[in-house]
Structure 1
């Protein structure tokens, strides 16, 4: 195994997310073309010294409830899990699991919010939606104090432009969980992989370079059915995964929904949400809707895509039941699927599974889905009292320290990891089995905190090479024009107006009436919710601020 760069270290730190991510990725704000590229998040600054637990201050034992994916299993081995025992003893707490899964977490958190019974700590991905402001304004969330000097590692981590996405008004109500360290890496949030071996058996001689060529290839595989498994078209880890990849076809700046959507010049100096760009509101989206409708009706996209889940997608693709899969990055399914590929199929993954290139849009450019650096965030219930909240912030601060990073991500030196040449960390493949709580603490605060050592990846080099090539390609890809200042104006208005990209997409893609007709009905609903008034207010404010002539 090679000694990876930090970009490769990122990959494994994402594995738990990528093995089961559903919905992913929420999207955030990216600077407009006339502003500098996003600042490197503050976590690039070395962590402060490991904080010492204040035993006198923490004399009262506390129970902290945690709502997190599969947290029941993560906290199931309390007697033998050294990582869990160390953290609990250090801070005199007991973590009590409140379990959610990748398929039900949104519904459960919404239910608990409606009954004011949210866990003390929970992780979700709603800060770019109207739900975030709703929860904050309803008094369900604990405010993050502006003075974090008592928690220096956390303060340093939050000294980042990303913190702006954690605000409602002038108060912070969540802690972003950093996923990426540069914009181009967000391309690895999505990938379409396909069975190149079956395509060749079906008579395809060249890898697809356009959506039409991709459709022809999938149709050829379905018709030939080389393995006799009644193979279907493209599955996905969730229906919402289609948004980012396909929106780049005719509305590349519109990949962000919720209430942090981007704004573009509509050609006459008036700025509108990119989702509604065009000569008439929404004209630009029609080509994307038609492409999705055509691919769905011809079965290039599988018929039951609306019911797709992460596990189902992995199982279908692993067992040759689908010709393609829309998932996280090329290496993303390592834990949940790729590591089993040779055993199940008898072939090397990179020999038979290829990754679709960035596809050209209607204007001829190949864009990628430019999303937020952090797809999710930590929340804290407003019912948490001051003493417990201080304890939680101490724990978060510790998990961002060098000692906390090594313990929470790799376990115990000599048991589940080794330091090589005083510079590299080499993890045991069974670290998460020996210490299951790593599945919680590894990513509770951040997917990619600063680490004191470089990581030796467990993922094979040929798979990592594909990922590196995709990121490099994204670095050289064109950036759609938008102006983040208009997003800031809209967010500051505090309105409940938001965009439901995934729901709109499914409605049109699976519908049976003309695309233009169905899209116009959706636009009319947005108008009834105040779209035109919002556009006017945002542009009026922009003029007052001198953004427009």
Structure 2
């Protein structure tokens, strides 16, 4: 027994010597050993995978430019991004989520019927109950989105982080969308077409016919009076006349109806077909991919007008490209709101969000918490400005009274801050933001004040031109209605309407046949809503 205690004591001493020696070596090596995973803040290195629109396929979002490196260094991560486009965003994510193959993080285009299924089947991560305490800045933005708290109550927890369009500069309630008409002002003046703050869809068709007849830009066979893709053509002709073109609604008698079968939708279809048959639209508008129709207006100069995206945050890029390729945008571009034939602005409340952040249900706590830390930082004042203006003391600084002062001169630098050909190709929401660029754009010193004034006026006009009937607040009963019938009734309205417009035969008859062919899907939903 005495012999065993002696050897036990010796072994213990040797172990202690080994531990002290190892600790000493680690101390001597200092930061040189950080390749083992820890940075100077004690953060172990993590690697994310992400899927989102607005990405550049193959770009190095870890260290491909100074902004990406700023974030990856600050939060000690590597990030691999799968870039989606507008055409495949919904379907590819749907496939990955349902198969359990989604990336660690994804920006998801919220569709309630699908979202409810993902929650029910455990296909996306449920947030910890105390997440708002841990990440209070994200929580503050979350509350401003309206959608977040609504669906949290419904699902009994948080699964989605909606990204707020506006935090400090909400331009109206209900919230109007930013899609607008860009019109060649110089061509309009040449053919005697009036310059106004708003136009009906039939007036836009009239402009297109004049341009087609007189070709004031001498474009010849390349001329496209009104350049559109399928999505925006439907938005222009149908959605601007029919508030509930792709939804259900409650009529004056309190009964729920289907917007696809409304007279307003038929009116929009007839105008759509008139534009198509008259050659105002390109004969192959439905083959246009992504946002190529925009380029026909602002880059190649073949188009007299385009109805398309017009967020304040992107207008400077549009105007710069027009100036580089065609001429002075302030003299030659007119922006306007499109109203229905009744003179009113038609749209349902946009809700103060666009896109939601979701996580793989099997993501590690470490990865989840690290990315939430990124989101929380970007919801602070400093992070918010960085995501909009670049690096502090390099691209911007604080002036008097904390005024943001730009240090970046695009003309001197010869390139913009953002974009594939900009200083920061990584620019975008992929570096972690829950506040969209729309909000800061109204205050951004890098955006020409004339552009900010135009955009503010467009939002104001829509609020004034809408009525409670044509521009209503969100009906949450419809928006959050979830049932097997509702899931089956998710039609591809854009494709269906484009097919009706380009189909031979009488449009009204074809539309009536289409309505009847879908009633087996639609009627069960109407019955459920009316039963409520």
- Please report the TM-score for the alignment, with normalisation by the length of structure 1: 0.76
User: In 2, Cα distance between the equivalents of 1:485 and 1:340?
Assistant: 40
Name the counterpart of 1:176: 162
Deviations, residues 416-446 of structure 1 (Å, cap 9, x unaligned)? 1122223321332444444443334566322
**Distance between the aligned counterparts of 1:450 and 1:245, measured in 2?**
25
Q: Post-superposition shift, 1:512?
A: 1.9
Out of 447, 459, 462, the residue aligned to residue 450 of structure 2 is 462
1:76-126 deviations in whole A, cap 9, x for unaligned?
37557444334333333211222323444334324433543211111131x
Please list, as runs of the form range in 1=range in 2, the aligned pairs for 1:461-540 lying within 5 A after superposition: 461-481=449-469, 484-487=475-478, 490-491=481-482, 495-496=486-487, 497-529=489-521, 531-540=522-531
Which residue pairs with 1:136 in the alignment? 119
Partner of 1:25: none
Match of residue 394, structure 1, among 339, 348, 373? 373
Contact 1:188 1:470 in 2 (8 A): no
| Partner residue in 2 for 1:101 | 85
Change in 2 beyond 3 A, CA 1:184/1:457: farther
Residue among 426, 430, 433 paired with 1:437:
426
Whether the aligned pair in 1 keeps the contact of 2:48 and 2:104 (CA below 8 Å) is yes
- 1:134-157: CA deviations, max 9, x gaps? 333443211233421111112222
8 Å CA contact 1:154–1:396 kept in 2: the answer is yes
- In the alignment, structure 2 segments of 5+ residues that lack a partner are 1-37, 411-415
Q: CA deviation at 1:336?
A: 4.6
For the aligned residues, what is the CA RMSD?
A: 3.3
Which one of the candidate residues 72, 95, 115 is aligned to 1:88? 72
What per-residue deviation string (whole Å, max 9, x for no partner) do you get for residues 142-184 of structure 1? Answer: 1233421111112222234221465563343221111132436
Give yes or no for contact 1:183–1:370 (8 Å, CA) kept in 2.
no
Given the superposition, is the C-alpha separation of residues 217 and 79 from structure 1 closer, same or farther in structure 2, using an over 3 Å criterion?
closer
Structure 1's 409 and 232: CA in aligned 2 closer, same or farther, altered over 3 A? closer
The equivalent of 1:18 in structure 2 is none
| CA positional deviation for 1:325 | 0.7
> CA separation in 2, counterparts of 1:284 and 1:336?
35
Q: 1:228 to 1:130 in 2, by over 3 A?
A: same
Call closer, same or farther: CA 1:395–1:419 in 2, change over 3 Å.
same
Distance 1:353 1:369, change over 3 A: farther
* Alignment match of 1:307 (pick from 283, 287, 302): 287
Q: TM (normalized to structure 2)?
A: 0.78
**Counterpart contact for 1:74–1:437, Cα < 8 Å:** no
How many angstroms apart in 2 are the aligned matches of 1:107 and 1:454? Answer: 33
Higher helix share: 2
The 2-side partners of 1:221 and 1:249 are apart by 22
**Alignment partners' CA distance in 2, 1:206 and 1:455:** 27
Greater CA drift, 218-227 or 347-356 = 347-356
Aligned equivalents of 2:353, 2:277: Cα separation in 1? 34
Which runs of 5 or more structure 1 residues have no equivalent in the other structure?
1-53, 542-549
Separation (CA, whole Å) in 2 of partners of 1:334 and 1:444? 20
Residue 358 (structure 1) aligned with residue 338 (structure 2) = yes
Instruction: Report if the CA contact (8 A) 2:62-2:78 is conserved.
Output: no
Equivalent residue for 1:189, pick from 167, 178, 189: 178
1:382 and 1:173, CA in 2 relative to 1: closer, same or farther beyond 3 A? same
Q: Using a 3 Å threshold, how does the CA distance of structure 1 residues 373 and 287 change in structure 2: closer, same or farther?
A: same
Contact 1:233 1:322 in 2 (8 A): yes
Matched, 1:211 2:195: no
Question: 1:317 aligns to what?
Answer: 297
Aligned to 2:21: none
Cα distance in 2, alignment partners of residues 454 and 312 from structure 1: 26
In structure 1, distance between residues paired with 2:403 and 2:526: 52
Measure, in 2, the Cα distance between the counterparts of 1:450 and 1:206. Answer: 28
**Deviation of the 1:324 alpha carbon:** 0.9
Distance 1:357 1:291 in 2: 17
Most deviating of 453-462 and 113-122: 453-462
